[in-house]
Chains A and B, each alone.
Chain A
Amino acid sequence: MAKITYIQHDGTEHVVDVKTGLSVMEGAVKNNVPGIDADCGGACACATCHVYVDDAWREAAGTASAMEESMLDFAENVEANSRLSCQIKVSDALDGLIVRMPESQH
């Protein structure tokens, strides 16, 4: 279990407990946290679960695969700390993780 803080673009915070093994995207969707659309359900096919990983957590969240990298390359408002949240697996090491959401997912 990891406590994850999701911060919407307007600043609204959602703090939820997410089971180990789920993705950061699933943690949001299953807890009805708005702002992560995840149209493809986690198949790394759509780039609608884009988040900015808080700088303190970038290393713990791991690095993007080549597939994720190239999906992100064409998403909007991409920053150095952008990730697709369906590709970040939740573990104890991510207890306390903070992610922020872009203005829109398209």
Chain B
Amino acid sequence: MNDPKAHVVILGAGHAGGTAAALLRQYGHEGPITLVGDEPIAPYQRPPLSKAWLKGEADADSLALKPLEFYAEAGIDFRPNLTGVSLRRSDKTIALSDGSTLTYDVLILATGARPIVLNIPGADLSGVLFLRSAADAEALKSALGPGVRMVVVGGGYIGLEAAASGRALGAEVTVVEREERLLARVACEQLSSFFQTYHEKHDVRFVLGASVTGFTGQDGKLGGVTLTDGRTLGCDVALVGVGAAPNDEIARDAGLECARGVVVDLEARTSDPSIFAIGDVTHRPLPLYDRMFRLESVPNALEQAKQAACAITGRAAPASETPWFWSDQYDLKLQIAGVPFDVDRLVVRGDPGAGKFAVFHLKGDQLQAVEAVNAPPEFMAGRQFIQNRKAISPEKLADTAVSMKEVGA
């Protein structure tokens, strides 16, 4: 079934694509591997772009997944600055943006997601920025500094991490969020209010329940952000972080089954057996929750890269993992395991006022998700409880005198 000499083309050289290429070699794939990326640089880690890197605590070298020479040494043909234009499944070819064509035996789509743009007046002014790529991060970093007025549009993780980094660099930061609370799509109310209070202590201002109607400026340069309530916030730089959309057009146009992204199974295989899809672009099964979902996270990209590399090299599928996420803001380490589907009870353990607590999301006596702030035992144990579908006592969970090991005993 598995052809060790197959030509594997990986479209997309982010965390997912880069990892899949390295794993294929690690698992003994002998055939040619072509890794096509739309950025000028080899695969790198995106998470630090809004955190350590933005604050100047990590250099470009430390971001790279592998040193550049790795690709040549491993016989991986890395081709930067290229996108896939169209996919012809009938003859297994993919047309690239430079007019060339690649023929594949096996294709891995790792095209990721892109920031959602705001279709409002002034969105093209210089100073209106996004944060997805290293180039985006360079632009943001060079715009920030002491006294710079920064407006963050969107109170999600990217926005809040950038706000914390902006404060560390001395910028004056205001976050505008359409919903009545921060992290509305991705976290519970307790966590939203905790993060708001923490950011306010660091002099971040918030405007909640307000949408941005436009950007104003002079000579092509940003000067302010106008809000639904008629106010204008003066600013030098605006970071738009209002979510991401999957880059699944090439798959849709080629007739692959898509939902909120490219539909895959637990081998990361699409509706075409010769084509896999991994990372942010996929709509994937979550067996723990018995449903399909699109995850945007590094652990998900790594898990699916492993699934695809195993399937392509004839290895047994890896065990399914509990989804997890993390975020660093100021001295806070937020770790989340699971997804809070169908939750009927929340249990808070620890004291949010002390900056060290966890919120557990239960469905009956089963743990569905945990959000842990500076609380690694709660995260680590919680992740195991979710994975093992263990019955949990909410009373023990709420009692910090009962250790997490005892909760699970």
Residues of A bordering B, CB below 8 Å: 22, 26, 29-30, 32, 34, 37, 39-41, 43-47, 67, 70-71, 73-75, 106
The residue on A at minimum CB distance from B408 is A74
Residues of chain B within 8 A of A106, CB atoms compared: 319, 321
Partner of A30, one of B67, B404, B405: B67
Residues of chain B within 8 A of A46, CB atoms compared: 299, 324, 326
Interface size class of B (residues with CB under 8 A): 20 to 34
Q: Is the CB of B380 within 8 A of A75?
A: yes
Q: Is the CB of A41 within 8 A of B324?
A: no
Q: Is the CB of A37 within 8 A of B302?
A: yes
Task: Output the least CB separation between B335 and chain A (Å).
Answer: 6
B32 part of interface (Cβ distance < 8 Å): no
Q: Is the CB of A71 within 8 A of B328?
A: no
Q: Is the CB of B324 within 8 A of A74?
A: no
**CA separation between A15 and B328, bound complex, in Å?**
33
Partner of B326, one of A29, A40, A67: A40
Q: Is the CB of A40 within 8 A of B22?
A: no
Q: Is the CB of A39 within 8 A of B299?
A: yes
**CA separation between A95 and B278, bound complex, in Å?**
39
Q: Is the CB of B67 within 8 A of A39?
A: no
Q: Is the CB of A70 within 8 A of B26?
A: no
Mask for B390-409, Cβ within 8 A of A = 1, else 0?
A: 00000000000000110000
Partner of B70, one of A32, A39, A70: A32
Residues of chain B within 8 A of A74, CB atoms compared: 376-377, 380-381, 384, 404
Task: Output the least CB separation between B52 and chain A (Å).
Answer: 8
Mask for B364-382, Cβ within 8 A of A = 1, else 0?
A: 0000000000001100110
Q: Is the CB of A39 within 8 A of B298?
A: yes
Residues of chain A within 8 A of B321, CB atoms compared: 106
**CA separation between A34 and B23, bound complex, in Å?**
9
Residues of chain B within 8 A of A39, CB atoms compared: 298-299, 302
7 A-B pairs besides A71-B380, A74-B404 with CB distance below 8 A are: A22-B62, A26-B62, A32-B74, A40-B326, A43-B333, A46-B299, A70-B380
The residue on A at minimum CB distance from B52 is A43
Partner of B298, one of A22, A40, A73, A75: A40
The residue on A at minimum CB distance from B73 is A32
**In the complex where A41-B48, A46-B299, A106-B321 touch, is A67 in contact with B333 (Cβ < 8 A)?**
yes
Task: Output the least CB separation between B218 and chain A (Å).
Answer: 41
Partner of A70, one of B47, B324, B326, B377: B377
Q: List 15 A-B contacts (CB under 8 A).
A: A29-B65, A29-B66, A32-B22, A32-B70, A39-B298, A40-B326, A41-B45, A46-B326, A70-B377, A70-B380, A71-B380, A73-B377, A74-B377, A74-B380, A75-B380
**CA separation between A63 and B338, bound complex, in Å?**
31
Partner of B335, one of A30, A32, A45, A73: A45
Q: Is the CB of B326 within 8 A of A45?
A: yes
Q: Is the CB of A32 within 8 A of B45?
A: no
**CA separation between A71 and B319, bound complex, in Å?**
21
**CA separation between A76 and B64, bound complex, in Å?**
28
Which residues, 331 to 378 on B, are CB-close (under 8 Å) to A?
A: 333, 335, 376-377
Task: Output the least CB separation between A87 and chain B (Å).
Answer: 12
The residue on A at minimum CB distance from B334 is A45
Q: Is the CB of A41 within 8 A of B302?
A: no
The residue on B at minimum CB distance from A104 is B319
Residues of chain B within 8 A of A26, CB atoms compared: 62
Residues of chain B within 8 A of A32, CB atoms compared: 22, 25-26, 66, 70, 74
Residues of chain A within 8 A of B66, CB atoms compared: 29-30, 32
List the 9 closest A-B pairs by CB distance, nearest first.
A74-B380, A45-B326, A70-B376, A41-B45, A71-B376, A70-B377, A39-B299, A34-B26, A74-B381
Which residues, 217 to 261 on B, are CB-close (under 8 Å) to A?
A: none
Residues of chain B within 8 A of A70, CB atoms compared: 376-377, 380
**CA separation between A52 and B65, bound complex, in Å?**
23
